[in-house]
């Protein structure tokens, strides 16, 4: 393995490699256990959303509606479970039902009506945001049941509950993508939809299902965030759409579809969470936080793009970073 190939393997860890030494020099408090717990919790919220976004990107799509799903999940829990006589079971079931409906709407428009994913999911985002604003008047309201608070703010020993949930979802997603016939069909659909259809893979159904998966995982993140915040906040899901896409791409996925990695995405999520926390500890204002985040992302993307280019003499060689984990794309 030459130097270029070694660098390609560490591409998804670029932001971590940038943040850790800077934090060690400029903000040693970053490594205190309490702060690391905060970083891990924030990373867990984004990780769950990014795993859903990863499935969509592998299938040649993007989902900009995940932030709206997060916010809507919080509103539904407040409405159905946060009032006197409310039921947590009803609240959770309503969250699942609405998430599935949103995912199906996105999937039907993109996979069956051929609407570009960016337009379809942006339209869905506007729709759910508009309904939420109409119902609440744009005001924060209600409370989350105490039983749900532990889901977002609780800990088991020193480990925050959201971290355990994110790790469980990561393991499940790795099994689904790398060890199941659905995962092989998804990678094949992303790589070459026409050839996959000729091979008997129901490419439209596979493509549509990715949006349902993304919506369900965004709803799960919304429940955790609602428990952490404790009330409905219409800004709860802001930023998770673009941050999840950034994490997936930095983690090694291709926006052209057919390539994406669970561990790479998780590493990028941790790097993004660490970067945001470091900027907060430095007392950087919101405007310069965005500027700093953008600069680091540009640097990471440029580095990742540079090391992914292979010399022409090795064009015939392939590594795990270039191809999906499973090479057999026929259905089981």
d(CA 220, CA 166): 10
pLDDT score recorded for residue 314: 40
pLDDT score recorded for residue 146: 85
pLDDT score recorded for residue 284: 81
Per the listing, tokens 């990373």 go with 43
Domain extent listing, the chain: 3-314
DSSP for 133-144, written as a single string: HHHHTT--B---
pLDDT score recorded for residue 2: 61
Query: The whole model's pTM is what?
Result: 0.89
What pLDDT tens digit does each residue of the chain (332 aa) get?
A: 566 656 666 767 878 888 899 899 989 999 999 999 999 999 999 999 999 999 999 999 999 999 999 999 999 999 898 877 789 999 999 999 999 999 999 999 999 999 999 999 999 999 999 999 998 888 877 888 888 899 999 999 999 999 999 999 999 999 999 999 999 999 999 999 999 999 999 999 999 999 999 999 999 999 999 999 998 988 999 999 999 999 998 888 988 999 999 999 999 999 999 999 998 998 888 787 788 778 877 776 676 666 555 444 343 333 333 344 444 444 33
d(CA 331, CA 52): 22
Kindly list the distances between the CA atom of residue 273 and the CA atoms of 55, 70, 176, 208, 276, in Å, as whole numbers in the listed order.
Answer: 21, 18, 25, 30, 5
Nearest in space to 211 (alpha carbons), one of 102, 119, 94: 102
pLDDT score recorded for residue 285: 80
| Second CATH level (architecture) for the domain 3-314 | Orthogonal Bundle (1.10)
């Amino acid at each position: 393995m030459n130097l270029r190939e070694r660098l390609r393997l560490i591409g998804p860890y670029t932001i971590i490699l940038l943040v850790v030494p800077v934090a060690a020099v400029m903000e040693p408090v970053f490594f205190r256990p309490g702060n690391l717990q905060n970083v891990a919790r924030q990373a867990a919220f984004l990780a769950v959303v990014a795993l859903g976004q990863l499935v969509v990107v592998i299938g040649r799509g993007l989902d900009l509606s995940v932030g709206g799903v997060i916010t809507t999940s919080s509103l539904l829990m407040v409405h159905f479970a946060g009032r006197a006589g409310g039921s947590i079971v009803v609240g959770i079931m309503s969250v699942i039902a609405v998430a599935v409906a949103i995912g199906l709407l996105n999937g039907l428009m993109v996979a069956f009506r051929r609407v570009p994913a960016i337009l379809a999911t942006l339209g869905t985002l506007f729709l759910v945001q508009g309904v939420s604003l109409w119902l609440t008047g744009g005001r924060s309201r209600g409370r989350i049941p105490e039983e749900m608070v532990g889901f977002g703010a609780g800990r088991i020993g020193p480990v925050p509950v959201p971290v355990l949930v994110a790790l469980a979802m990561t393991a499940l997603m790795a099994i689904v993508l790398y060890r199941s016939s659905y995962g092989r069909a998804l990678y094949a659909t992303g790589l070459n939809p026409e050839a996959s259809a000729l091979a008997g893979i129901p490419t439209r159904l596979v493509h549509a299902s990715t949006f349902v998966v993304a919506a369900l995982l965004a709803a799960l993140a919304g429940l955790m965030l609602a428990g952490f915040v404790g009330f409905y906040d219409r800004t709860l899901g802001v930023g998770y759409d673009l941050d999840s896409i950034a994490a997936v791409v930095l983690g090694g996925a291709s926006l052209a579809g057919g390539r994406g990695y669970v561990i790479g995405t998780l590493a990028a999520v941790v790097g993004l969470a660490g970067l945001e926390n470091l900027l907060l500890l430095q007392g950087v204002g919101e405007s310069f936080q965005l500027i700093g985040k953008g600069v680091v992302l540009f640097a990471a993307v440029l580095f990742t793009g540079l090391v992914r280019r292979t010399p022409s003499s090795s064009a015939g060689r392939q590594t795990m970073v270039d191809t999906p984990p499973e090479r057999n794309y026929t259905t089981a």
